[in-house]
Structure 1
């Protein structure tokens, strides 16, 4: 067995989970926060048989398309005033998923 960790944007969460459940995958959802944009993410944990890994990843990929978004990333300045700090909008690629597959030694469901 394998454990798939899929880190996705909150925007894609409902579509991904619904698609996975339609394919009879059991999904555990965790709320997480990304480091670069400081935006909310969802981390999905999915236990699958080895033969189902590629099918599960294909379902995730189909729901997590990449797209461009303009954002202003405010700096974190501890104890400092940011009144004189100028920010520039930046174009970032969002969407997609970060997927990790790790061996699962034991899986029990009661």
Structure 2
């Protein structure tokens, strides 16, 4: 299991959230601000299985392109979202950290 931390431009947020939920991904949305990507962004935390990574990225890109076409926005793929993949702890790793005898 992995975690995708994804900072999304607010233009894409609503549609991307709906598409990901309808595709079966479990996501958590965090309101975010600061100097990394400036104002107007939302952070999604998305859990996924290792083998689903390519499908997840493709789904996200297609959702962004759909918004660009619908709103007649100039396509700028480098401003859609920034993402980071992180390893998650397995159940065994988690329980052993807190259940030391």
Q: 1:4 touches 1:46 (CA, 8 Å); kept in 2?
A: yes
**How many residues are aligned here?**
85
Return the TM-score normalized by structure 1: 0.64
Equivalent residue of 2:38, what SS?
coil
Deviation at 1:64, TM superposition (A): 2.6
Q: Name structure 1 gaps, 5 residues minimum.
A: 69-91
Deviation at 1:40, TM superposition (A): 2.3
Distance 1:64 1:34 in 2: 23
CA RMSD, Structure 1 to Structure 2 (Å) = 2.7
Distance 1:18 1:52 in 2: 18
Q: Name structure 2 gaps, 5 residues minimum.
A: 92-101
More off after superposition, 11-20 vs 31-40: 31-40
- After superposition, the C-alpha distances for 1:10-63 in whole angstroms (9 at most, x for unaligned) are 121111011101110011000112526732211000111101111111111122
Q: 1:6 touches 1:98 (CA, 8 Å); kept in 2?
A: yes
Distance 1:35 1:15 in 2: 24
Structure 1 runs (4+) greater than 4 angstroms displaced: 65-68
- After superposition, the C-alpha distances for 1:49-99 in whole angstroms (9 at most, x for unaligned) are 10111111111112234755xxxxxxxxxxxxxxxxxxxxxxx98731101
Q: 1:8 touches 1:64 (CA, 8 Å); kept in 2?
A: no
Kindly indicate which of the two structures has a greater share of residues assigned to helix. Answer: 2
Return the TM-score normalized by structure 2: 0.69
